[in-house]
Structures are given as C-alpha cells and as structure tokens.
Amino acid sequence: MGTEKIFESLKYEGVRYKILKDGNISYYVRYTKDGERKHKKVGTKFEGWNEKKAFGKRTELENSQVEQKPLKFKEVADRYLEIQKLHLRKKSFSTYSGRIKHLEPFNDKYIHLITQKDMNDIIISLKDTLANKTINQVIAIAKAILKFAEDEYKIINQNLNKVRSLKVNNARERFLSKEEVNNLKEVLKDKYEYLLFVNLALCTGARLMTILEIRKKDIDLDNKTIVLRDFKNSSTYQGYLNDEVKELLLQKWGNLKDDDKVIQKAKRLLTEDLRDLFNKLFNQNVTDDKQKVVIHTLRHTFASHLAIKDTSIQIIQKLLNHKDIQMTMRYSHLMPDSGKECVEKLWD
C-alpha cells in the first residue's frame, strides 16, 4: 500500500482511507466474515467512492453469505416441492408434482447453468403431447424454481426470464344443458352458499370475483336488480335476479348488514370445492380443456341460453358487460333465427 499514511474514518466504523500523491483517495474496509478479519480496497475518490459508500460496501461484505456450493436442479426442485406441500391441498400438490416431472431433463444440470435453450428444448419436446396451457404451467414452475434458488440459496440464474409462454385459446365451447343445470342445483341443494353462487352466476352471467364481491346494499329485491362490479373492465353494470335467486337471498337477508357480502365463503375453498364437483359431475374422461366445465362455464351457459332463447346480440352484450360486440358474436350461431329464414323468404 506504499508509504502513504492510512487514516481511520471518524464517522464510519471499519472504513479507512489513504490520500495519494495525485490528490486521489483510496478507500479500504475492515470486516469480519466467517470468523476471519479481512481488509479490502473498495475503490477511489476518482471512481466515485467516499466514506459513506465504503461503509455500505463493508456492510454488504459482512452480511454476504458463505459461498454456496453448486446445486443441481433436482436438489432445488425437491426442496421447492417440500415447501409447496405445506401450502397446497393434496390434489393440487399432486397436479403440481406432475408438472415438475416434465422438467426431468434438468435434473442433473447445475441450476446456475440452465439456459434459455434448455427450456425451449423441453417446450418443443412437449408440444405434441401437451396442451399449450399445460406447457405454460411447466414454464411457470421452472421459473418459480429458479426464483426459489435465488431466494433460498442465493444462486442467481435469470436465463429463463425471456422464455415466452405459448398462445392459448381460452374460448370455451362447453356450456351446460338445462338438464345439467338442474342436476347441479339438485346436488347443491343442501349447500346454501354454493347453491347461491351457482344461481347468481346463472342469472347474471357475472365472473367469479364480481359475484364474490356482491354486497347486500348492491341488491334491490323489490325490483330484482343488482349492481355488478366488473373488475376486468373497471366498471359497474346492472344485472337482474330471478325468483329462485330472490328466494335464496331472503333466507339469510335479515342476518346481513348493508356492507356484508352475500357469499362469505372463502374464495379458495369455494373454487376448489366447485372444481372438484365439476370434475366429478361433468369432466370424467374429458381431455380437451375447452370442453371441461369450470366456474367460467356458468357465465358461458348464461349467455348461450340467452342466445338459444333468441335474445338479441346487443342485449347479451349489455348483460355480459362486453366492451366489444365481437366478444359477444361467438354466441350468434346458437340463435334460432340466424338470418337463414329471412334469406329464404327474401324474394317470395
């Protein structure tokens, strides 16, 4: 360090500096790491360093972890699954574990060496056997495991950040028949909040979160109207109640305060229970996601039966709160009078 005198900072513990002949100042820090006293030059004044910045670096060096040995993907993935098991229901965890199995080509790779090409190779290998939605879930889990490696082990690998998800056609073709609707209601007849949820969905066509946020003050039972909040479009719109829903609401009406939600079941519990029920009633041996019954199918069922009843596209658009009528046009093929009769009789 030459013959220049080293001074101790009067303000910052562990910071030292040396004034050089050219007027520059070198900054040093003394710190303890892994039980050893260390001395390190961190920079010079001409490089933008000062006592405060040097002290910050000292703190960083003292708090840094012991250098982490390289870990293979499987070691981190197993630990990640162990943590997830604490938070997921048994069936959800089973699905999660199944998705991770598609990442087995990574198992013997050191996690810090996994590349974007490695992930794209897996995506290509899965393309012929899995739906795009499932592949996207595999991609998301791979990214989550790398993030977990960073948080848990301080191993940083951002190579998957630019891996793109595949396009998914979310348009569902499946809707419930009247017989299926009646069967669903019969199964839920002794489960008040589930039955109320299904009935609200089938008479308003509202989305999941919209229904779960309905409060007593939003409902006018006399006029059978309801104010609905569309969180997707950041707007409110009006829906209508039928007698069946009105009777259900009246069962608990007197016990509710104006600000109380009419459905107080926790979102996670309600959605998981309904998913299990839909799988049991409607999704046995169904492999095409577009043909599976899910909660959103209730909205699709509402709109589809309106179209079958020959309700105008404009009214269906209004009831669904669609901003673009093209979204509503998907139901036009269900209308009995699609224009065929008009054309046939045009020149009679």
In this predicted model, what pLDDT tens digit does every residue of 172-210 receive, in sequence order? 678 999 999 999 999 999 999 999 999 999 999 999 999
Are 192 and 219 contained in the same domain?
A: yes
Tally of CB atoms within 10 A around 266 = 10
Q: Is the pLDDT of residue 108 over 50?
A: yes
pLDDT tens per residue across span 227-253: 999 988 889 999 999 999 999 999 999
Q: How many domains does the structure of the chain reveal?
A: 3
Cβ(54)–Cβ(12) below 8 Å:
yes
Q: Which domain holds residue 112?
A: 73-153
The answer to the question of residue 165 being in a domain is: no
- Identify whether 325 is part of a domain: yes
- Considering the domain architecture, whether residues 58 and 81 belong to the same structural domain is answered as no
Report the C-alpha gap between 161 and 184 in whole angstroms: 43
pLDDT of residue 344: 55
Is there a single domain that holds both residue 124 and residue 42? no
* Separation of alpha carbons 138 and 79, rounded Å: 17
Q: CA nearest 263: which of 320, 331, 213?
A: 213
**Residue partners of 154: CB distance under 8 A and separation at least 6:** 65, 68
Whether residue 90 lies inside any domain: the answer is yes
Q: Are residues 257 and 297 in the same domain?
A: yes
- Phi first, then psi: give them for residue 236, nearest 5 degrees: -120, 155
- Please tell me whether residues 268 and 320 are part of one structural domain: yes
- 218 and 321 housed in the same domain: yes
Q: What was the pLDDT predicted at 134?
A: 87
Residues 144 and 187 in one domain: no
Q: Which residue has the higher pLDDT, 167 or 64?
A: 167
User: What's the pLDDT band for 306 if we cut at 50, 70, 90?
Assistant: very high
282-293 mean pLDDT: 88
Q: What is the pTM of this model?
A: 0.58
Please, are residues 7 and 18 in contact by the beta-carbon 8 Å criterion?
yes
Confidence of residue 87 (pLDDT cuts 50, 70, 90): confident
> Out of 53-57, 142-146, 261-265, which region has the weakest mean confidence (pLDDT)?
53-57
Question: What's 329's domain CATH number?
Answer: 1.10.443.10
Kindly state whether residues 84 and 46 are assigned to the same domain: no
Mean confidence (pLDDT) of the chain: 89
Full DSSP string of 308-319: HTT--HHHHHHH
Q: How confident is the model at residue 1 (pLDDT cuts 50, 70, 90)?
A: very low
Q: Bin 36: left if φ > 0, else alpha if -120 < ψ < 50, else beta.
A: beta
Q: What's the CA gap between 170 and 305, in Å, rounded?
A: 20
What distance in Å separates the CA atoms of residue 290 and residue 173, rounded to the nearest whole number?
6
Is the model more confident about 347 or about 211? 211
DSSP per-residue string spanning 57-118: HHHHHHHSPPPPPP-BHHHHHHHHHHHHTTTS-HHHHHHHHHHHHTTGGGTTSBGGG--HHH
pLDDT band, very low/low/confident/very high, at 132 (cuts 50, 70, 90): confident
228/289 same-domain check: yes
Q: How many residues does the chain have?
A: 348
Strand order through the sheet with 6-8? 6-8, 15-19, 25-33, 36-44
Residue 115 lies in a domain: yes
Does residue 126 sit in the same domain as residue 198? Answer: no
Measured distance CA(89)–CA(275) in Å, rounded? 13
